[in-house]
């Protein structure tokens, strides 16, 4: 990879998660019935976790609070394409038979708004009240391989080697993760190209594979941490047989073969950075709405801006940060104006950061191939097409 004359220091790739997480091959997998899975969720709840998992709301699969498996999107799957999402019946009782939810776990680890401190003036004295980091324990139920990779990327950026972000750290440190191997790829998925799925390999406490065509339907369960093993040991399960273990690989092979999109991930860094004046940037800039949806749904877009507000009396002030996006003009506003004034420049910033300069900054790609930016772009702009347009020899 050629060195990009950028401004970023090269951080050595490292796991910055709160607890080292093991890979799946350590303990023999167990088998869990739907009733056993419910008992497992109840056990997590009992131990003080807020259960978060997929539900259907307004015709879309989203992550929200759940009570039990009764809340999960039983029997639903999704049809996804550029700017298009519809739910469809599967004809079975699969609980995780959809591909990828509308939003990732990002809002729970790195919420859209976060107060940092507030202050109060009393006479000439200023009292500063720091905002304490939250202490909630959350359990993520149904995290996909691409999402675990995205969380690892956020860990690297927001925890890093320095003090990191105390709010992210506090939320992240207490998360219990139940991952799911994808049994179906969505129309915009390309995790296989990004080496970020569909099989979960690290970063989970428990990992499930849903064997929905068995009767009764069961889950194959791997423990990734001692915390995971302990919760699993507290509920009834049985050792998996050879056929069940083999079924997992068959399912994953099918998922790999059904990726809706693909991208050539060999040296995207040099390809994109060597073509900053390619005419296709202008062309995509004409179609792009600068609406920011792609950055909002991307599980690795974590930029924020910080603002101070005062109340009417001028006696109370608070500082908050909120999600921001490289598509807004304020984001790149320096003295006198925005340095990325055209939409084409903003799109180029987003894509080259995600696929190229992220390597310089963090030692890996910033894209995990979840496809959300394609599905949830109102006009269906597709980064895999953009990469192809740039890779194509110039016309004429």
Partner 1 sequence: MRTVTRKSRLAVWKFASCDGCQLTLLDCEDDLLALAATVEIAYFPEAGPMNSGHYDVSLVEGSISTPAALEHIRAIRRRSTHLVAIGACATAGGIQALRNFADAAEFAAAVYPQPEYLRTLATSTPIAEHVPVDFELRGCPIDKQALLEVLAALQAGRQPVLPHHSVCIECKARSSACVMVSRGSACLGPVTQAGCGALCPAYGRGCYGCYGPQEAPNPAALSARLGALGVGAQTMRRLYRTFTAEAAAFRAESERHGA
**Sites of contact with ligand SF4 (CB under 6 A):** 288-294, 297-300, 327, 354, 367-373, 377-379, 381, 383
Tokens describing residue 286: 């004409």
**Partner interacting with residue 298 (select from partner 1, ligand SF4, none; CB below 5-8 Å by kind):** ligand SF4
**Partner interacting with residue 299 (select from partner 1, ligand SF4, none; CB below 5-8 Å by kind):** ligand SF4
Strand partners, 275: none
**Partner interacting with residue 296 (select from ligand SF4, partner 1, none; CB below 5-8 Å by kind):** partner 1
Among 206, 273, 288, 367, binds partner 1 (CB under 8 A): 288
Contact between 308 and partner 1 by CB under 8 A: the answer reads: yes
How far, in Å, CA of 231 to CA of 119, rounded?
43
Spacing of C-alpha 213 from chain mean position = 28
Residue placing its CB nearer to ligand SF4 in the complex, 176 or 327: 327
CB of 83 to partner 1, least distance (A): 6
Decide if 143 contacts 177 (C-beta within 8 A): yes
Contact between 335 and partner 1 by CB under 8 A: the answer reads: no
Contact between 67 and partner 1 by CB under 8 A: the answer reads: no
Angle at 378 between CA 191 and CA 91, to 5 degrees: 60
Contact segment (CB under 8 A) with partner 1 among 8-16, 164-172, 179-187, 293-301 equals 293-301
CB of 195 to partner 1, least distance (A): 27
CB of 324 to ligand SF4, least distance (A): 13
**Partner interacting with residue 57 (select from partner 1, ligand SF4, none; CB below 5-8 Å by kind):** partner 1
If 0-12 CB within 10 Å is exposed, 13-18 middle and 19+ buried, where does residue 43 land? middle
Q: What is the contact mask toward partner 1 in residues 22 to 61, using x (rule: CB under 8 A)?
A: -----------------------------------xxxx-
Among 313, 335, 336, 396, binds partner 1 (CB under 8 A): 313
Decide if 197 contacts 221 (C-beta within 8 A): no
The contacts of residue 345 (CB under 8 Å, 6+ apart) are 281, 285
Among 297, 302, 351, 356, binds partner 1 (CB under 8 A): 297
Cis before 170? omega within 30: no
Reduced to 3 states (helix: H, G, I; strand: E, B; else coil), residue 35 is helix
How far, in Å, CA of 203 to CA of 337, rounded?
42
Contact between 280 and partner 1 by CB under 8 A: the answer reads: no
Among 1, 70, 242, 312, binds partner 1 (CB under 8 A): 312
Residue placing its CB nearer to partner 1 in the complex, 362 or 376: 376
HSE (CB half, 13 Å, CA atoms) of 6? 20
Among 20, 286, 393, 395, binds partner 1 (CB under 8 A): 286
Q: Which residue has the tokens 């994109």?
A: 272
CB of 328 to partner 1, least distance (A): 4
Residue placing its CB nearer to partner 1 in the complex, 237 or 375: 375
**Could you tell me the CA-to-CA distances from 376 to 60, 140, 277, 292, 296 in Å, in that order?**
12, 22, 27, 10, 9
Residue placing its CB nearer to ligand SF4 in the complex, 30 or 103: 103
How far, in Å, CA of 249 to CA of 211, rounded?
11
Residue closest to 201 by CA, chosen among 377, 380, 395, 21: 21
Angle at 110 between CA 387 and CA 227, to 5 degrees: 105
CB of 332 to partner 1, least distance (A): 12
Give the footprint of partner 1 on this chain (CB under 8 A).
57-60, 62, 83-86, 102-103, 107, 112-113, 121, 126, 286-293, 296-297, 307-315, 317, 322-323, 325, 327-330, 343, 375-376, 378-380
């Amino acid at each position: 990879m050629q060195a990009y004359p950028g401004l970023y220091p090269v951080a050595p790739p490292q796991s910055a998660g709160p607890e080292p997480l093991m890979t799946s091959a350590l303990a023999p997998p167990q088998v869990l019935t739907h009733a056993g899975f419910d008992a497992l969720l109840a056990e997590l709840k009992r131990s003080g976790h807020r259960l978060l998992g997929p539900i259907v709301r307004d015709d879309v699969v989203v992550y929200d609070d759940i009570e039990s498996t009764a809340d999960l999107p039983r029997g639903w799957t999704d049809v996804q394409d550029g700017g298009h999402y519809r739910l469809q019946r599967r004809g079975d009782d699969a609980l995780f038979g959809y591909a990828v939810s509308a939003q990732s776990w990002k809002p729970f680890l790195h919420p859209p708004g976060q107060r940092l401190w507030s202050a109060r003036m009393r006479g000439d004295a200023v009292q500063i009240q720091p905002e304490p980091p939250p202490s909630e324990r959350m359990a993520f139920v149904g995290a996909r391989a691409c999402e675990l990779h995205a969380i690892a990327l956020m860990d690297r950026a927001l925890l890093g080697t320095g003090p990191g972000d105390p709010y992210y750290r506090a939320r992240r440190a207490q998360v219990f993760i139940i991952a799911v191997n994808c049994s179906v790829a969505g129309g915009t998925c390309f995790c296989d190209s990004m080496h970020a799925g569909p099989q979960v390999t690290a970063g989970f406490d428990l990992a499930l594979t849903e064997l929905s065509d068995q009767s009764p339907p069961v889950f194959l369960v791997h423990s990734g941490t001692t915390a995971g093993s302990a919760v699993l040991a507290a509920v009834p399960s049985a050792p998996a047989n050879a056929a069940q273990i083999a079924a997992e690989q068959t399912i994953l092979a099918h998922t790999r073969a059904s990726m809706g999109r693909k991208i050539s991930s060999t040296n995207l860094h040099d390809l994109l950075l060597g073509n900053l004046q390619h005419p296709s940037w202008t062309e995509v800039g004409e179609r792009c709405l600068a609406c920011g949806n792609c950055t909002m749904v991307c599980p690795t877009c974590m930029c924020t801006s910080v603002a101070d507000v005062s109340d009417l009396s001028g006696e109370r002030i608070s500082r908050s940060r909120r999600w921001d996006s490289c598509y807004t003009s304020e984001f790149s506003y320096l003295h006198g104006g925005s340095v990325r004034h055209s939409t084409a420049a903003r799109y180029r910033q987003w894509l080259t950061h995600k696929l190229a300069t992220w390597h310089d900054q963090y030692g890996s790609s910033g894209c995990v191939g979840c496809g959300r930016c394609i599905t949830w772009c109102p006009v269906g702009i597709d980064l895999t097409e953009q990469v192809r347009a740039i890779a194509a020899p110039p016309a004429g």
